[in-house]
Chain A
């Protein structure tokens, strides 16, 4: 009987610990959109999107063309700024008091044509969507 009670007690302690762990994990608070850090992170995020768009291997200024028998395919990647959403959270961590979650959609656009030169003129259609989440930390007055 004692052993049984002890075992039940152990299970209860274990469950309670897991619950507290889950609570602690979910204890970060989402900042309101009018918070100064939210606006700062939004600016940072749009700058981030600009960096991504100018550095894609294949972007509108450097369209990739390859044969896809019997046509040619032109392709580029782009993140539409309108797809950006952000969230800033206050954490319980001393090392990282705030984190920022940036979400955006990277789209691959393609155009098909019979000529490797004219295919880059389009028209282009979206062929693949990639929902990306990036997470940043706020420390020493900047996002990194």
Chain B
């Protein structure tokens, strides 16, 4: 009993001392800043969106899935969001403060299945209506995210309408594109629909354009989100300088050994190893098998895009997937341990596309 009391008193004293000592620690805070005060989703809901898009499903279904995924990955932004369609023109959510579930409900309300006959694509005229009814009344910056399959077959050409809006609003407005344009037919390099989207995207250098089939990859979507919706910066608070102490040079620590894989090994939002990357994982298994004296800690990591708990789960599943593969290749189960770190242990700068790509990785530490 006396011994427990002594241990307790010692622990309390240590906590007290640590608390005193920690008053001067440097604080590093990541600040998220939206790239616009207003984000407007302008989604094609015309007859052509009822056609098949590659092997991913109907264009309307793919558009919905991509928008839901983007909404899920967005950080909580101090900005207004709205959801509108064209062909026909409809408001599914007015441009108001961001609310994730509200946005998801609005996206899910857009019809997926409809009569294709007579359902034209008035992209330009409906954009004029969006401008008159909504955009003209918005303050500060506006980003319009256009979901299009590259068709517009009635009314003014959207190129003219967009150019007029650029002339009216200047730097305050930018159009971004999520393209569901069909791939070119054999013998051509660009389809008419792709060329249409490229022409609109080329009106202003601010534009970010991505293909819907690429946005299924989490790292592509992550980059798109950061380029369209927000930027980050770190704010560091330095503590007061301390008096000159005696310097003791540090001793080098033991060498760490690790095999690193980029998350390109996986499909987006998936922990399944892509078949074409199995051969390089097999090489890793060989390296590990040649080191029977070691245990292997498989660690999953992500970049800082997306909710923390989503990234945590994904990193855990990917680490487990790699461990399962190693076991199938002959690495003994009792040598393997897995852990997911999510976005908590970046090694690289999350402010750059390269850095975020490098942070999305699985590491196998030989211990």
1/0 per position for B334-367, CB-CB distance to A under 8 A?
0000000000001111001011001000000000
Quick check: is B31 within 8 A (CB to CB) of the other chain?
no
1/0 per position for B121-152, CB-CB distance to A under 8 A?
00000000000000000000000000000000
Nearest Cβ in chain B — how far from A114, in angstroms?
4
CB-defined contacts of B26 to chain A, threshold 8 Å: 65-67
Question: DSSP majority for the A interface?
Answer: strand
List residues of A (111-144) whose CB comes within 8 Å of B's CBs: 112-117, 125-137, 139, 144
Is the beta-carbon distance between A133 and B247 smaller than 8 angstroms? no
CB-defined contacts of A51 to chain B, threshold 8 Å: 354, 358
Quick check: is A93 within 8 A (CB to CB) of the other chain?
yes
Q: Known contacts being A57-B346, A57-B347, is A96 close to B255, with CB within 8 Å? A: no
Tell me, in angstroms, the Cα distance from A134 to B362 when the chains sit together: 11
Considering the complex, give the chain B residue whose CB is closest to the CB of A125: B249
Contacts A71-B242, A127-B252 aside, 13 further interface pairs with beta carbons under 8 A come to A28-B283, A55-B348, A65-B26, A91-B279, A96-B279, A115-B244, A128-B253, A131-B258, A132-B258, A132-B260, A134-B259, A134-B260, A136-B280
Chain A interface residue count, CB cutoff 8 Å, equals 47
The answer, among B243, B277, B287, for a CB contact under 8 Å with A137, is B277
Quick check: is B94 within 8 A (CB to CB) of the other chain?
no
Quick check: is A26 within 8 A (CB to CB) of the other chain?
yes
CB-defined contacts of B24 to chain A, threshold 8 Å: 67
Tell me, in angstroms, the Cα distance from A26 to B287 when the chains sit together: 11
Quick check: is B29 within 8 A (CB to CB) of the other chain?
no
1/0 per position for A38-76, CB-CB distance to B under 8 A?
000000000000011011110000100111011110000
Is the beta-carbon distance between A112 and B239 smaller than 8 angstroms? no
Considering the complex, give the chain A residue whose CB is closest to the CB of B346: A57
Tell me, in angstroms, the Cα distance from A88 to B122 when the chains sit together: 55
Is the beta-carbon distance between B261 and A113 smaller than 8 angstroms? no
CB-defined contacts of B256 to chain A, threshold 8 Å: 128-131
Quick check: is A25 within 8 A (CB to CB) of the other chain?
yes
